[in-house]
Structure 1
Amino acid sequence: MLQNNPILKSLINSLWNTLWSGGIANPLTAIEQITYLLFMKRLDDMETKREGDAAFTGDKYESRFSGTYVPYVDESLYQITDKVSKEEAKKIEESLKEAKKPRPKEELRWSQFRRITPTDKMLEHVRYNVFPFIKTLNGDTSPFTKHMANAVFIIEKPTLLFEAINKIEEIFIEIEKDASEGGHTFQDIQGDVYEMLLSEIAQAGKNGQFRTPRHIIKLMAELVEPQLGHKIADPACGTAGFLLGAYQYILTDLVRKKDKKKLEKDEDGFEIGSFSAVLDEKKKEILDESFYGFDVDITMVRLGLMNLMMHGIDNPKVDYKDSLSKSYNESGQYDIVLANPPFTGKIDKGDINTSLRIESPASELLFLDRISSMLRIGGKAAVIIPEGVLFGSSKAQKQTREIILKDNQLEAVISLPSGAFKPYTGVKTAILVFTKVEEKSKTWHTEKVWFYELESDGYSLDDNRRRLKDFPLPETKAAFDARLKTKIKDRKSHFFVPIDEIQENDLDLSFNRYKEYEYIEQTYDAPKDILAKLIKLENEILKDMEELNSLIG
C-alpha cells in the first residue's frame, strides 16, 4: 500500500502540489495529466526492456518507437509577406519543407524529450508530437484510441512540465527501490497515484467511488483463481485494479506450474513470481484478449486503459459504458467477474436494463444481479458489497439474495473489518464468492454457505492504515481452500450454514446472525456486602474531608 512508503507518498504529494500551484487544481484533472506523463515514462521503460529481451533471445521485435513521425510545425513562423523577396521566400519555403520532414520516432521517447532545452521547446514537442502519438498508439479501431480521442494535454507552462518530469523521475527511482527492497514486485503505479490524489478530494467516496486496497484485490483473485484463457470482467472497473489483480494471479500461477523455486512471498504473504520467464508470444496474445472493463466515467476509462497498458497488456478492452443501462446486453459471457461496485449510487429508473430483475434504483443490488447474469455457467465471481445487503429486509434486498442463492452456488461470505476501506469510508463490507449454475433458476442451487470473519486484514484499521506484522489474508485463502475437508466444531470464526437454516432466517446472510457467541457468566457480591463496602468507602472520604478542613483552619 502506498501509505506504507512515506518517501513515495511524499513524492506523489509533491507532484500533486506542483500541478496545483501550476493552476491545475481539479484533482481528477490532475490525475489525468499525471497519468499521461507516467504513461509516457512507463512506455519508454517497457519498450527498452522488450528490446533488451529480444536482443538477448535473438527474437525479432519491432519497437513502438521504430519508424518515423511527421513533426508539428508552427507555420506562422514561416509566413511569406509582400515585403519578402523571391529569394527569401524560396528559402522560407525550403525551411518549412525541411521542418516538416519525417523524423525518427525515437525522439518521442521519454528518455529523449526530457533532455530537450529550452523548456518551451520541450513543452511544444510533448504537446504536439508526443501526446498525439500516445493517443493513437493502438491503431484507429482500438478502445484506447477511441477513448483518448478527446483527451487534452493541458499543461501550458514549460517550467511546470519540467518540474513534473523531474518529480516523476524521482518517483520511478523510489518505485524501483521499493520493488527490490519491499517485495512490491507488481507495483500498481497508476493506482497508487490515483489513491494518493483521491485522498485529497474532500468528498472522496461520495458516490461510492474509491479504490479497493491492493491486498484485498489479491485475496479476491486468490479466491476465484483465474486461469490463462479465462475471459475476465469488472462491470465498474475504475482504474482497472481488479483486472490487474487477475493478471498478476495468472502470471504467478504460470510460474508456479513451470518452476515453483522462482516463487517468493510478497509484502502481504502471497506468492509471486518473475513474470518475464513465462510470457511467450502465444500466452501474451491470449492475455491481451482476456480482460474487459466498463465504467461510466470517461476519466476512469482512460486511466484504466493506461494502467493496464503500463503493466504489459497492450490492447486492453476497457469501454465507456453503463453496465446497468439498456445499452448493455452481455450475458453468460465471462468466466471470472471481480468487482467492487459503487455502494451508494442511485440509477435513473428509466435507463435501467429491463433484463435486470431487481426493482430498485440501488446500484449495489442491481450490480449483483448484473454480475450473476454476466457469468457463464461454471463461471465464478468475487464481489465486495456493503453488509446491509446481507440482512436488509426490503423486498429488493431479499430478491437479490434469492438470485445469488438460486442461480448460483454461494460458496462464501467473508466479513471484512469495518476499517478496510478507510480513509474513504468506515462502511462494514463483505466479500461474496459464488459460482454460476443456472440462469433464472426456480430451484436453490446453494446447499450450504461458508461464513468467515476476517478480524484484521494485515493493516491498522484507522485512517493511516499502517502495515502490521501478521499475514491474515493467506490464512483466509488457506481456510477457504480447506473448508470442505475441515471438521468444524463450532460457529465462532468460520463455519457452514445449510440453506434451510438460511431460509428460516429470511435469507439473512450476515456472519453475526449465525455466529456462536461465548457468554461468560459474571458473578457479583451479595447486595449486603456491596452496601457495606460503599459505607466503608464513604466513611474514609468523610474522614479525609474533616482532615482537610482542619488544615484550612
Structure 2
Amino acid sequence: MASPNKKAAAATTSRARLASIVKSARDTMRKDAGLNGDLDRLPQLSWLLFLKAFDQRVEQVGETLDPEYRPAIGKNYRWQDWATDRDFSGNELKTFVNDDLIPYLADLRGSAGNADDPRNVLSTIFNDVTNRMQSGTLLRDLVNLVDEIHFDSSDDIHTMAFVYESILKEMRDAAGDSGEFYTPRPVNRFMVQQSFLKLGESILDPACGTGGFLVQAYEDLMKEVDTDSQRMRLHADIRGIEKKPLPYLLASMNMLLHGVGAPRLVRENALLQMRDATAADRVDVVLTNPPFGGEEERSVVEKFPKGYQTQETSWLFLLAIIDQLKKGGRCAIVLPNGSLFASGENSIGARIKQKLLKDCNLHTIVRLPQGVFAPYTQIPSNLLFFEKGKSTSEVWFYEIPPPLARRGYTKTTPMPVEDFDQCVAWWGGEMRERREGGGNAWKVSIADIEKMGFSLDISNPNVGEDLEYRSPEDIVDELIVVENEILSLLKGLREELGGSA
C-alpha cells in the first residue's frame, strides 16, 4: 500500500455541498452491478461513512485530547491510512477491502466487560458487512466522495445527521415492502416528550431499528448536560437492542453522527435478552415500537410463563417490558388496534392486559388515525403510556383527529408534529393535572374495562358532539388547504403524463 496522502483540515461541509456529495455517491453506486436498490446501496454508503466518521470523531479526537490514547483500529486499517491514498485504487483496493479490512474489523475484540470499548461495536457491525460492489474503480470513486465529507465540528455532525436522516426515510420507504416498520419522527418526538425524561435515567428501546427513539431522547437530554461526566453518563444510559444487522448498522451510524462514539447497542433477539436479564439490568424508561403481526419461533415463546405463551410479537414485547422496568419505571409503546381489542377469559392477549393493568398504571392511551405509519401499513395504531408499581384505576383516552377533510394520513401527506399540539396541551404536564373529558378525550374506569373482558379498543363516546365552534374563516382556510393539495396532486399527475404544468 502506498503511503497515505493525508488531507489538510477542511472547511465545514455545508448542507447543500453535503447533499451534492451524497447524490454523487448514490449515482456512483447505481452504476455498480453488485448493488440492487437502496436496500443494498444504503448499507454500502453507511459502513463507509461510519469508518470515516469514526476515524475523525473518535480516533483523531482521542489522540488530540490524550497523548497516550490507543486507537481502536490498528495501523493500515484506519480510514486515514488507506482511504485517503488516491494511488490505492481499482482491484487492489477492492481486494484489500474484501480480504483484509472487513475481516480485520469483524475480528476486533474489546476489553472484557468494558461496554465503552468501541472495538465491540466495530466487530458487531462488520461481522455482518459485505462489500457488494463488483467494480474496484467505482469503489474507489465512492471512497473518494465519502472522504470529501468532514466531521470537524458539531455543525458538520448536525448537517450530516440531517442529510442522513433523509436517506434513512427513503430506506424505510423501501424496507416497508420487506416487512420493516419504522416510527415517524413526529411520533418519536411526542412519545419522548410525554415521557418527561431526566438525566441519570436508564433508557431502553428493545426494538430500536435505526435508532429514532434513542436519538430523540439523546438530543432532548443533551440540552441539560453541563459537564463531561454528565455527558458520559448519558452515553451509558441510552441503550438499544436490535435483532437485524442492517438496522443495527444504521442505528450505530445514527448514534455516531449524533456524538455517541461507542453506542450501547446490542445485536440480539430482544425478547431473549430481556427474558434472560437480571434485576440489575432493569431500566427506568422504555420507548419502543415493537414489531407486530409477526410470529416468534417456539424456542423464544417457551421462555415466557405458561398462560402467557403466544407467537404474537407485540404481546411478548409488552410482557417482557413489564418485567424489564424498575419499580416506578415508565414506558411509552406503540401497539396496533388488534392488540387493544383482544378480550375474554381464554384470550392470552386479555391475560397480558390484565397483568399490565394490575402491575402498572396505564394512565393514557393516545389513539392515532389511519395512515400514520404509511406506507408500511394502514392499520390504526395506539400509543400506550404506563408506569410500573401501581395498579390502574382509570385509563384516559385521547383521539388524534384525522387530517382536514381526509380519512387519514398518507405517504405523500404524512403526519406533522403540530398535530400532537392539542394533545400535549390537554396532557397536563408531568403530573397529568387538569385533564378534562369531552371532545377528543374521555376516561374509562378499571371496573368498566374488566366488564369488557379487558378490551382496550374503546371508541370515543363524544363522537357526534359539536366539538368546537368553528368560524367561517377557519372553514375557508381548511378549504384552501384541501384545494391546494388537490391542485398539487393534479400537477404531479400532469407531469407524469408528459404534459407541461
TM-score by length of 1: 0.67
Aligned to 1:398: 350
Instruction: Note if contact 2:334-2:384 (Cα within 8 Å) is conserved in structure 1.
Output: yes
Instruction: Note if contact 2:335-2:384 (Cα within 8 Å) is conserved in structure 1.
Output: yes
1:187 pairs, out of 161, 165, 177, with: 161
Q: Give a deviation string over 1:493-533, Cα, whole Å, max 9, x none.
A: 1233322232233323235254443289xxxxxxxxxxxxx
Aligned to 2:401: 455
Distance 1:293 1:66 in 2: 22
Distance 2:70 2:419 in 1: 42
Distance 1:496 1:210 in 2: 30
1:144 pairs, out of 117, 121, 141, with: 121
Distance 1:28 1:64 in 2: 35
Aligned to 1:35: 46
Unaligned 5+ residue runs, structure 2?
1-14, 113-118, 468-501
The alignment of Structure 1 onto Structure 2 pairs a total of residues equal to 436
Q: Mark the CA change 1:362 to 1:168 in structure 2 (over 3 Å): closer, same or farther.
A: same
1:411 aligns with 2:363: yes
Q: Give a deviation string over 1:287-329, Cα, whole Å, max 9, x none.
A: 2321332232233333333332332222223223223348841
Instruction: Note if contact 1:218-1:245 (Cα within 8 Å) is conserved in structure 2.
Output: yes
Instruction: Note if contact 1:452-1:511 (Cα within 8 Å) is conserved in structure 2.
Output: no
User: 1:108: how far off?
Assistant: 3.4
Instruction: Note if contact 1:341-1:364 (Cα within 8 Å) is conserved in structure 2.
Output: yes
Aligned to 2:478: none
Residue identity opposite 1:284 in structure 2: R
SS in 1 for 2:290: coil
Aligned to 2:290: 341
Q: Mark the CA change 1:133 to 1:224 in structure 2 (over 3 Å): closer, same or farther.
A: farther
Distance 2:415 2:460 in 1: 31
1:351 aligns with 2:300: yes
Q: Mark the CA change 1:117 to 1:477 in structure 2 (over 3 Å): closer, same or farther.
A: same
Aligned to 2:75: 69
User: 1:132: how far off?
Assistant: 6.1
Q: Mark the CA change 1:68 to 1:21 in structure 2 (over 3 Å): closer, same or farther.
A: closer
**RMSD, aligned CA:** 4.0
User: 1:386: how far off?
Assistant: 0.4
SS in 2 for 1:238: coil
Distance 1:369 1:467 in 2: 29
Distance 2:394 2:297 in 1: 36
Aligned to 2:233: 286
Over the matched positions of the two proteins, sequence identity in percent amounts to: 24
1:107 aligns with 2:80: yes
Residue identity opposite 1:41 in structure 2: K
Listed as ranges, the matches of 1:3-402 within 5 Å are 15-16=25-26, 18-22=28-32, 23-25=34-36, 27-47=38-58, 50=61, 60=66, 69-70=75-76, 107-108=80-81, 112-113=84-85, 115-116=86-87, 118-119=89-90, 123=94, 131=102, 135=106, 139=110, 141=112, 143-147=120-124, 148-149=126-127, 151-165=129-143, 168=146, 187=161, 190-201=164-175, 203-204=177-178, 206=179, 209-254=180-225, 278=226, 280=228, 282-325=229-272, 328-330=275-277, 332=279, 333-356=282-305, 358-393=308-343, 395-402=347-354
Listed as ranges, the matches of 1:515-526 within 5 Å are 515-518=462-465
Q: Give a deviation string over 1:133-159, Cα, whole Å, max 9, x none.
A: 765778365541442335333334233
User: 1:405: how far off?
Assistant: 1.1
Distance 1:128 1:187 in 2: 31
Q: Mark the CA change 1:39 to 1:178 in structure 2 (over 3 Å): closer, same or farther.
A: closer
SS in 1 for 2:161: coil
SS in 2 for 1:390: helix
Distance 1:335 1:397 in 2: 25
Residue identity opposite 2:75 in structure 1: Y
Instruction: Note if contact 1:410-1:446 (Cα within 8 Å) is conserved in structure 2.
Output: yes
Distance 1:244 1:390 in 2: 28
Instruction: Note if contact 2:39-2:174 (Cα within 8 Å) is conserved in structure 1.
Output: no
SS in 1 for 2:270: coil
User: 1:370: how far off?
Assistant: 1.0
Residue identity opposite 1:217 in structure 2: N
Q: Give a deviation string over 1:153-182, Cα, whole Å, max 9, x none.
A: 333423322443466578889xx9999xxx
Residue identity opposite 1:381 in structure 2: C
Distance 2:301 2:73 in 1: 48
Larger radius of gyration: 1
Q: Mark the CA change 1:471 to 1:364 in structure 2 (over 3 Å): closer, same or farther.
A: same
Distance 1:7 1:510 in 2: 49
SS in 1 for 2:397: strand
Q: Give a deviation string over 1:367-392, Cα, whole Å, max 9, x none.
A: 11111111110110100010121123
Q: Which moved more, 1:503-512 or 1:329-338?
A: 503-512
Distance 1:133 1:247 in 2: 31
User: 1:364: how far off?
Assistant: 1.1
Aligned to 1:497: 444
Instruction: Note if contact 2:286-2:331 (Cα within 8 Å) is conserved in structure 1.
Output: yes
Unaligned 5+ residue runs, structure 1?
72-104, 255-277, 439-444, 521-553
Instruction: Note if contact 2:426-2:435 (Cα within 8 Å) is conserved in structure 1.
Output: no
Instruction: Note if contact 2:44-2:132 (Cα within 8 Å) is conserved in structure 1.
Output: yes
